[in-house]
Amino acid sequence: MKVKANRSICVSLVALTIMSTLAACQSNTTSGTPSGAASGTTGAAKEHRTLTVEVFDRGKPGQPDLNNNFWTKYVNDNFGKQFNATVNYVSVPRAQEVDKLNVLMAAGQAPDISYTYTQGVVYNYVQQGGLAELDPVLKQYGTTLTKYLGDDVLKYGKFNGKQFAVPGKRTVLAGNNTFIRKDWLDKLGLPVPTTPEQFYNTMVAFKEKNPGNVSGVIPYGYSLQPSGPGMGYIPEAFKPSNLTEEQFATLQPQAIWSTNWSMPGFDKAVQYMNKMYNAGLISPNFATDKDGKLLDADISNGKVGAFQTNWDGPYRTAPGTYANLAKNVPGAQLIPIDPWQNDAGKHPKNVYSPNGMYIIIPKTSKNVDLAIQYLNWMADPKVTLFLQNGQEGVDYNMVNGVPKQTGTTNTGEKMMTVANNLDYDILSNGIELGDQQKNTAAISAGYPGYEKDAENALKVGMVDNYTTYFYSTPNAADAKSNTELKNLSAQMLAKLIVAKPAELDGLYKSLVQQYMTQGGQAVQDEYVKNYKAQKGSK
């Protein structure tokens, strides 16, 4: 996706630059305040204006008109009347959002409020002068907004030391969890494993004693899925705990599912996986299970003893692995465990960064001030509560400070096409009740029948958590070759995991050399360059 996005951006650069120049000629202000509008207050403008806002079209069956529904009426009845404005929503297909946004930006037709999840796309717009600088207008109109986001989130929207994007706030940072069949542990009288060695020995016991009495038992379920060729949190157990800041910044994979063959200890993690495979402890068809459906089926049918997935994976309605497992194997019980202990006795977890989508305002916009006022209005807790839940007593009931949905937002003009209505409440990526304990309770309530399980899983998934080093400048080399390197990494892992133990060391060295030659070294070098430049500017 990133590669495709960059190609589209390159094609659109000339047009984008032209439009930016035209916009500069058409306006003699930098705030975006049009003639006749109030420039020094946060109240309603003197003349009526139209604010355009992007909204994802997810193509959900039965979805309402995305520019005329319960939520858009609420916005216009409240924000619109207060600021003498009409808010029009411009739908963009979710699966094509980067390509579509590139076209709109190049034509000077991007909505006043646009957004994307891709940092590299935003950075390219910044480099071409296509975005409005937001520091002065945030200071004047964004008091509530900046307080809600805080510096830790806002910094993700800074490029070259200036604020060019307003990042949404991610309220759930947990990434993965390792789950295990507790009923299998109980049957064998085994404790919950808390170290890699204990985990390995438990998998051996699962294979040899087959506590589920199933044909084709799979102690550790695993697949190389398109989301990334990684090994989950296993490498964390083998990574030295005393890395320098530069090593952490330049060698740490930027996502849970990513790999970095230069990371100290990564070879030991591969060796661990190889050992498990050669002992018959891993899904035999892991390399060909590209979509993970075979793994889901094996878990659901009671063949798998342990596996890694999203922190809440088993409790989700799709693919519904826990529900299917309970139906197929009465008495089966899954619990999250934390076995990837490092040399310092910690269980580090690379979780998501605190920012969600990047909200941007094109330089061609004449409504920069109004756009920030809109986001500032949205940061009000009462507005957030309504946009995420609807009307109290109708769409939800408040129970112990947590909104419980009644089901009215599943169909009709109130339909939410995505959880928590985040396509309209673009500031909050996840449930936001202003209190982390309440957020956790509300999140857990979203898994009917598994509320306590989900709450526990969220806690386990956040033990010893950390976020990766923040780079204000994206890695251009990574953006260029990310897809190719991801595919190459998957091929390498597949070969290394199934290799004969005696051949592993030599094969590892040759494959890593190939990886570095084919783009890995360029990515590594750019991380080092960006790190030193960023440290030098402080």
Q: Which CATH number fits the domain that encloses residue 199?
A: 3.40.190.10
Assess if residue 64 is contained within a domain. yes
User: Per-residue pLDDT for 15 more than 50?
Assistant: no
Cα distance between residue 482 and residue 226, in whole Å:
13
Average predicted confidence (pLDDT) for the chain: 90
Q: What is the mean pLDDT of residues 76-105?
A: 96
More confident residue, 44 or 263: 263
Give residue 12's pLDDT: 41
232, 308 contact by CB (below 8 A): yes
3-class state of residue 131 by DSSP: strand
Residue with tokens 């009465």: 330
Assess if residue 405 is contained within a domain. no
* Count of CB atoms situated within 10 Å of the CB of 517: 10
Tell me the β-bridge partners of 350: 466
Do 81 and 184 reside in the same domain of the chain? no
Separation in Å, CA 406 to CA 255, 397, 446:
36, 7, 12
229, 289 contact by CB (below 8 A): no
Give residue 537's pLDDT: 74
Assess if residue 397 is contained within a domain. no
Write down the number of H helices and E strands in the chain: 20, 16
Do 92 and 189 reside in the same domain of the chain? no
pLDDT confidence bin for 4, thresholds 50/70/90:
very low
Cα distance between residue 293 and residue 306, in whole Å:
16
Cα distance between residue 9 and residue 22, in whole Å:
19
pLDDT confidence bin for 536, thresholds 50/70/90:
confident
pLDDT confidence bin for 291, thresholds 50/70/90:
confident
User: Per-residue pLDDT for 400 more than 70?
Assistant: yes
User: Per-residue pLDDT for 26 more than 50?
Assistant: no
What is the count of structural domains for the chain? 2
Cα distance between residue 184 and residue 333, in whole Å:
8
Q: What is the mean pLDDT of residues 453-467?
A: 96
Give residue 290's pLDDT: 85
Give residue 226's pLDDT: 54
Cα distance between residue 217 and residue 279, in whole Å:
13
Cα distance between residue 232 and residue 259, in whole Å:
9
Separation in Å, CA 441 to CA 402, 428, 435:
7, 17, 10
Do 227 and 134 reside in the same domain of the chain? no
Give residue 224's pLDDT: 85
Do 10 and 104 reside in the same domain of the chain? yes
175, 310 contact by CB (below 8 A): yes
User: Per-residue pLDDT for 111 more than 80?
Assistant: yes
Assess if residue 413 is contained within a domain. no
416, 72 contact by CB (below 8 A): no
Cα distance between residue 328 and residue 405, in whole Å:
29
pLDDT confidence bin for 90, thresholds 50/70/90:
very high
Residues contacting 381, CB < 8 A, separation 6+: 434
**Among the listed residues 68, 48, 42, 33, the one whose alpha carbon sits nearest the alpha carbon of residue 424:** 68
pLDDT confidence bin for 229, thresholds 50/70/90:
low
Q: What is the mean pLDDT of residues 12-38?
A: 36
User: Per-residue pLDDT for 44 more than 60?
Assistant: no
Do 277 and 371 reside in the same domain of the chain? no
**Among the listed residues 426, 432, 433, 429, the one whose alpha carbon sits nearest the alpha carbon of residue 378:** 426
Cα distance between residue 215 and residue 314, in whole Å:
22
The 3-class secondary structure across 206-252, one letter per residue, is HHHHCCCCCCCCEEEECCCECCECCCCCHHHHCCCCCCCHHHHHHHC
Structural domain boundaries enclosing 273: 176-350+468-536
Do 85 and 186 reside in the same domain of the chain? no
pLDDT confidence bin for 369, thresholds 50/70/90:
very high
User: Per-residue pLDDT for 17 more than 70?
Assistant: no
Assess if residue 105 is contained within a domain. yes
Q: What is the mean pLDDT of residues 350-360?
A: 95
**Among the listed residues 259, 319, 269, 318, the one whose alpha carbon sits nearest the alpha carbon of residue 486:** 259
Cα distance between residue 195 and residue 176, in whole Å:
17
More confident residue, 228 or 513: 513
Assess if residue 113 is contained within a domain. yes
Assess if residue 531 is contained within a domain. yes
340, 236 contact by CB (below 8 A): yes
User: Per-residue pLDDT for 349 more than 90?
Assistant: yes
Give residue 249's pLDDT: 95
More confident residue, 329 or 119: 329
Do 332 and 371 reside in the same domain of the chain? no
Do 360 and 342 reside in the same domain of the chain? no
User: Per-residue pLDDT for 71 more than 60?
Assistant: yes
More confident residue, 445 or 214: 214
Cα distance between residue 442 and residue 346, in whole Å:
29
Give the model confidence (pLDDT) of 152-188 as tens digits.
999 999 998 899 999 999 999 999 999 999 999 999 9
Do 50 and 105 reside in the same domain of the chain? yes
Do 146 and 227 reside in the same domain of the chain? no
Q: What's this model's pTM, rounded to 2 decimal places?
A: 0.83
Q: What is the mean pLDDT of residues 378-407?
A: 95
